[in-house]
Amino acid sequence: MGKNRLEAFSDGVIAVIITILVLELKVPHGGTFHELRDESHRHRHLLEQAPVCGSLTSFGLTDAEASTHNCLTTGSVMAQIHHSAACLRIFGDGLIPEEITQALRCAPTVAQRTGELIRYQSGRERVVRCGNWRLEAESAEPENINGQVRWLLSQVESDPEVWKALVQRFDVDIFCGLFMQESNDGMSLAPDVMALLGERGIHLALDIYNASEDDDVTPSQT
């Protein structure tokens, strides 16, 4: 590794460490898709309040490798993510699940009130810090985030005024788990899907699992 590349790598590592220290981010216990799905809301909230001070850096690619990578990720040929999970989530301290169900005219997959005790299959327990309402799509293999997002939004109220009221009171997103099979898989969002999200003011949160990680969970598990 050359001197310049080593310096860039060191700068990146230091920046990540400083960010973790400043935000006091904790390492999640357990690590299943569903546990990380629940804890990611707190981390996203912290990051949205923090100043932007990071950058995305690629190490170890030769010019030829970088050219091939760009061709694969921007052209018509792209290795596909192995499978995906997606969940519409609404969070709020004063959230009452029954009110969300009535507003969206749809029953949730999971709904929790602030202070409720949750027990995971891993044996870990936690107290719900923030009330939430969640609707989960079926797992898709191969990855089909576009289809999953379309399905989720087809199940709930489409009135823009309803969504405007919800996003003003609560944190709303669609949380997606992307499970890779190779080291360089990819995906893309369709224009209509981005429009559906934008019209409703819904954030898209992506949690990416690499090919070496064990993932024996399905969206139906809690």
Q: What is the pLDDT of residues 64-111, one digit of tens each?
A: 444 444 444 444 556 788 899 999 999 998 999 999 999 999 999 999
Query: Cis (ω within 30 of 0) for the bond into 142?
Result: yes
Q: How confident is the model at residue 14 (pLDDT cuts 50, 70, 90)?
A: confident
Between residues 181 and 25, which one has the greater pLDDT?
181
Q: Is the pLDDT of residue 220 over 50?
A: no
Higher pLDDT, 79 or 140: 140
Paired residues of 87 in beta bridges: 136, 175
Q: How much is the mean pLDDT over the chain?
A: 77
pLDDT level of residue 214 (50, 70, 90 thresholds): very low
Asked if 188 and 88 count as a contact pair (C-beta separation under 8 A), the reply is no
Per-residue confidence band for 29, with pLDDT thresholds at 50, 70 and 90: low
Look at residue 41 and tell me whether its pLDDT is greater than 70.
Answer: no
User: Phi, psi (5° rounding) for residue 167?
Assistant: -70, -20
Task: Say which amino acid occupies 70.
Answer: N
The CA distance from 97 to 170, in Å, is 12
